[in-house]
Structure 1
Amino acid sequence: METARLASLIAATITMGLVSGLFYGFSVAVMPALRGAGDRTVVEVMQRVNVSILNGWFLLGYLGALVFTGLAVGLHLADGARAALWPLVGAFVAYVLAMTVTGLVNIPLNNALAQAGPPDRLADPAAVRRSFEGPWVRANVWRTLLCTLATGLLAWTSVVTAA
C-alpha cells in the first residue's frame, strides 16, 4: 500500500505540475505576446491552439491530474495516513475548481471562437477578439492560481508523508 500511495502522489504531483505549467505559460508568455498582434492573428492563433491542444499528451496531464490526485486521496484515506489527507483534499478541491473554471468559461469561449469562423472571413475581427480575449485571460489566471495551489499542496503532502 505504501508503494501505491507514493506512486499516486508522485504521478499526481507531476501531472498537476504539467497542467500548472501549461496555464502559467499562457499567462506569462502566450497571451502577452498575442496582446501586440492584430485581431485576425489572435483569432487564428487561438483557434489553432484550441484544436491542437486536444491530444493524448494534453489529456494525460489534464485528466491524469484529477485521476492521480483522487487516487492519492483514496489511498491515503484507506491507509489511515491522516496527516497527508488535508493537503491532498485541498489539492483535489483546488483542481476541481480549476476544471470548473475551464468548463464554465474557457471551453465555451473556445467554442464561440471556433464558431466565429475563419479569421479571414470575419466582418468584425476586433469584436470577436474582444468577446474572447479578456474573459479568457482572466479565467486562465484563476486556473493558473488554482493549479499552482494544488501543485504546492501536493508537494507539501510529500513533505508531510516523508516526515
Structure 2
Amino acid sequence: MSAATGPVLATAATTMGLMSGLFFAFDVSVMPGLAAGDDRTYVTAMQNINTAITNPVFGAVFVGALAVPAVGTWLLHRSGERAATLWTAVATVLYLAALVLTGTVNVPLNDRLAAAGDPGALTDPAAVRAAFAPTWTAANIARTVLCTAALAALTRALLVHRRTAAR
C-alpha cells in the first residue's frame, strides 16, 4: 500500500468538490441572478465570466479533477484495494462524462456567445440569449449532478481505503 494513496484520494475529493461547487454555484445563484436581468446584461456578464474563467487556477483544478482521481485509481489498483479502486474509477468516469459535456455543449455555446460580438452593438440580444441560455443551463445542471456523484464516489473510496489501511 502506497503512503501517497490517502493524500491523493483527499486531493481528488478536494478538486472534485471544487468543480462540483463551481457548477452548483452557477445553478443556484449565477444563472438565476442573470436570468432576472435584461438580455444585454446577461450576454455581457456571460461573455465576461467565460473570459475570466480561463485562468491557470481554474485550469489546474479542471484538469486535476480528472488526473488526480485517475492516479488514485492506479494506486489503489496496484495495491489490490478492489472496492476503493472501483469507487475511484467510477468517479473518474463520471467526471470524464462532465468533461465531454463541457466540450460538446458548454464550450461551443460559450464560443458562439463570444462570436456574437460586443453586447452593446447587438441588434437582437434576446435572440443571442435565447440561443445560449436554456441549453447551457441544462448542461450545467447535468455537470453538477455528474460531479456531485463523482465526489460521493471519491468520498466512499477514501472511507473504504481508510478502513483497509487501518487493518
Q: What TM bracket, shorter-length normalisation?
A: over 0.9
Deviations 1:78-120 (A, max 9, x none): 1111120111111001000000000000000000000000000
Residue ranges of structure 1 left out of the alignment (5+ in a row): none
1:56 counterpart residue number: 56
CA distance in 2, matches of 1:70, 1:154: 11
Q: Secondary structure of 1:2's partner?
A: coil
2:33 counterpart residue number: 33
Q: Secondary structure of 1:109's partner?
A: helix
Q: Counterparts of 1:72-151 in structure 2 under 5 Å?
A: 72-151=72-151
CA distance in 2, matches of 1:64, 1:122: 37
8 Å contact from structure 2 (residues 23, 143) kept in 1:
yes
Deviations 1:8-41 (A, max 9, x none): 1111100000000000000000000011100000
The one-letter code sitting in structure 1 at the alignment partner of 2:90 is G
After TM superposition, give the deviation of residue 2 of structure 1 in Å: 2.5
1:70 counterpart residue number: 70
TM-score for both structures, normalised by structure 2: 0.96
Residue ranges of structure 2 left out of the alignment (5+ in a row): none
Moved more, 33-42 or 78-87: 78-87
1:16 counterpart residue number: 16
CA distance in 2, matches of 1:47, 1:3: 44
8 Å contact from structure 2 (residues 6, 162) kept in 1:
no
Q: Tell me the C-alpha RMSD between the 2 structures.
A: 0.8
Q: Percent identity?
A: 44
Q: Secondary structure of 2:157's partner?
A: helix
CA distance in 2, matches of 1:50, 1:57: 14
Residue 149 (structure 2) pairs with residue 158 (structure 1): no
Aligned length: 163
TM-score for both structures, normalised by structure 1: 0.98
The one-letter code sitting in structure 2 at the alignment partner of 1:89 is A
Moved over 2 A (4+): none
After TM superposition, give the deviation of residue 123 of structure 1 in Å: 1.0
